[in-house]
Structure 1
């Protein structure tokens, strides 16, 4: 993947795009390290990590994502939400993908994750491993697929370090509880993102991922705001069709653009968290900036996505490269050694 050395700019998301879940519990954050200098990457990561072992990696991911979007444009929002919900609790380690008794997929914060996007990640892994052997982790594939989905939506690329290992176990319920809920107040949002090293500008930028994707009626049942007609219309639609999915961007729901911020200015944010951005002077300033300049939004979003991809919990050298994204490599000696050493019980 020679081209993958340092690409510049793109995309994704906070509270993230599709089907947000019930309000997350207010818990103290688990330890996670943040990168403050782009020149300083977590140990084990590099921008050209797979250049020799899998030189055609980027092309394989690009083609698979392109084919998936042609069938279902919603896969872009699906990948964005998967990436955010994987990286935010304990770093980008594909722990979210694990199935089994303690799976993060069964936790309320992850309700409604798009199955077609989950399947796409595993499909890409199978293609890549057939071509290059088991050299690329599901964690790297998830970050690469999300980046490609954003780029194919019209946003420039961004720096993406590679070389992650896959987690040997899901994140805990407490770690997943850190994810912001759709009813969070602005002070809760600011603290939650600050605990992961993101400032108010980056919070406003990542929220822009809501320019695509949908939310369930349960995600905004407590919505109230200045635009009474808009809120009443949403509530009326849900009363008639409680299982419907509401576009988060009511203007251009399938286009990655800055119309989401224009909707906030018009008091037409769907979620409580969307409208909360207007309740703080600093975040409101950036809502206005991004509404007035799409390029500014894209650039800030890209830089913030690059930062999100560097969130790290355990050292990236701890873990494995899964032979199936949905389960650990049971029986593999090095995996068992790590499990015994750390007291980890793998998912079924």
Structure 2
């Protein structure tokens, strides 16, 4: 793996690591469990190659430093990415402040301000180097991708010895770029389509289907809960359940309903497949987590991802890229020149918000 780490050090972040770097054969992974990822209109893998060729070399060190300094940033970026893309596509609408802001609605009130500010910090650096050529929406996607890789690199590529037959490869996935920023927030009905922590399997599957996502995408993307925390008030519906783990959750939260609970109770700061193993042991924190192992449309995926960490890495990558292609209204908008938190026509200064209040991630 020295070769792949050297590639990262040289800043060649746009490439998918080549199988030629691996000295072992790939372990087998299920095929044809998800529809192929197709490029959305107007997006391409080399979109910024001429206008901002150093883009990914600017984004990577900023995100790497932030995530290594605070693990919650990775979870915060993943949650912002999902909450931005799911309502009306990946258009940075979730960042907008002011009238009708998505951030004022209950599903988004605990989005992490520090992760939002990181996106704006990256925009400032990118625009200083390249001009206003890169959208906040593209920066969200790139920052999230880099945060995922920062969390995987030390645990999956450096620390764990390879077992016989395992691959030394992990794909550093490339992203299609060229998104525009929305001119206004998504409407409230679209924001309330975001899956809730109390949702049952049928509700979850239908919600993802409405976004052209399949049950395997639902399960893989739920794996983001392998990092991050949630306020006790977001899963207090579990407290009355007659199960040891539910009673443990209730006891942990008894003194403070706003206490933060790790969503992965075994390896909370590592982006790995332990989350799925937890579900098989009845240790899912949210109802929306635990139901994935009790429904025939999703239980096979939970079991498979629990058994095969490389399938999780691969499917998580594919499902993130697939979600990033969701564009129900087409790729329209602008590139925000002055702030990720305000459209170009608004001169009122906008910020990520104060640091008050704990943020689920």
TM-score band, normalised by shorter chain: 0.7 to 0.9
Among 68, 71, 74, the residue aligned to 2:72 = 74
Among 163, 179, 182, the residue aligned to 2:178 = 163
Identify if the C-alpha distance between structure 1 residues 331 and 223 changes in structure 2 by more than 3 Å, giving closer, same or farther.
closer
Q: Answer yes or no: is the 8 Å Cα contact 2:136–2:335 preserved in 1.
A: no
SS in 1 for 2:151: coil
Question: Are residue 327 (structure 1) and residue 342 (structure 2) matched?
Answer: yes
Identify if the C-alpha distance between structure 1 residues 331 and 303 changes in structure 2 by more than 3 Å, giving closer, same or farther.
closer
Shift of residue 248, structure 1, vs aligned partner: 0.2
Among 223, 232, 239, the residue aligned to 2:238 = 223
Among 272, 282, 294, the residue aligned to 2:309 = 294
Q: Give the match for residue 284 of structure 2.
A: 269
Q: Give the match for residue 29 of structure 1.
A: none
Q: Distance in 2 between the 1:243 and 1:226 partners?
A: 20
Q: Answer yes or no: is the 8 Å Cα contact 1:98–1:325 preserved in 2.
A: yes
Question: Are residue 7 (structure 1) and residue 16 (structure 2) matched?
Answer: yes
Among 195, 199, 212, the residue aligned to 2:214 = 199
Q: Answer yes or no: is the 8 Å Cα contact 1:168–1:320 preserved in 2.
A: no
Using the size of structure 1 for normalisation, the TM-score is 0.83
Q: Distance in 1 between the 2:93 and 2:54 partners?
A: 25
The CA deviation string for residues 264-293 of structure 1, in whole angstroms up to 9 with x for no partner, is: 111011000011102211311111111111
Question: Are residue 249 (structure 1) and residue 258 (structure 2) matched?
Answer: no
Residues 1-348 of structure 1 aligned to structure 2 (within 5 Å): 7=16, 38=37, 40-154=38-152, 156-223=171-238, 228-330=243-345
Q: Answer yes or no: is the 8 Å Cα contact 1:4–1:48 preserved in 2.
A: no
Shift of residue 322, structure 1, vs aligned partner: 3.5
Q: Answer yes or no: is the 8 Å Cα contact 2:120–2:339 preserved in 1.
A: yes
Using the size of structure 2 for normalisation, the TM-score is 0.80
When the two chains are superposed, the root-mean-square deviation of aligned CA atoms in Å is 2.1
Q: Distance in 2 between the 1:227 and 1:302 partners?
A: 36
Task: Name stretches of at least 5 consecutive residues in structure 1 with no aligned partner.
Answer: 10-34, 333-348
The CA deviation string for residues 141-193 of structure 1, in whole angstroms up to 9 with x for no partner, is: 00000000001111632241111111000000011011000000111011001
Identify if the C-alpha distance between structure 1 residues 120 and 331 changes in structure 2 by more than 3 Å, giving closer, same or farther.
closer
Point out 4+ residue stretches in structure 1 off by more than 4 angstroms: 2-6, 224-227
Task: Name stretches of at least 5 consecutive residues in structure 2 with no aligned partner.
Answer: 1-10, 19-33, 153-169, 348-361
Q: Give the match for residue 167 of structure 2.
A: none
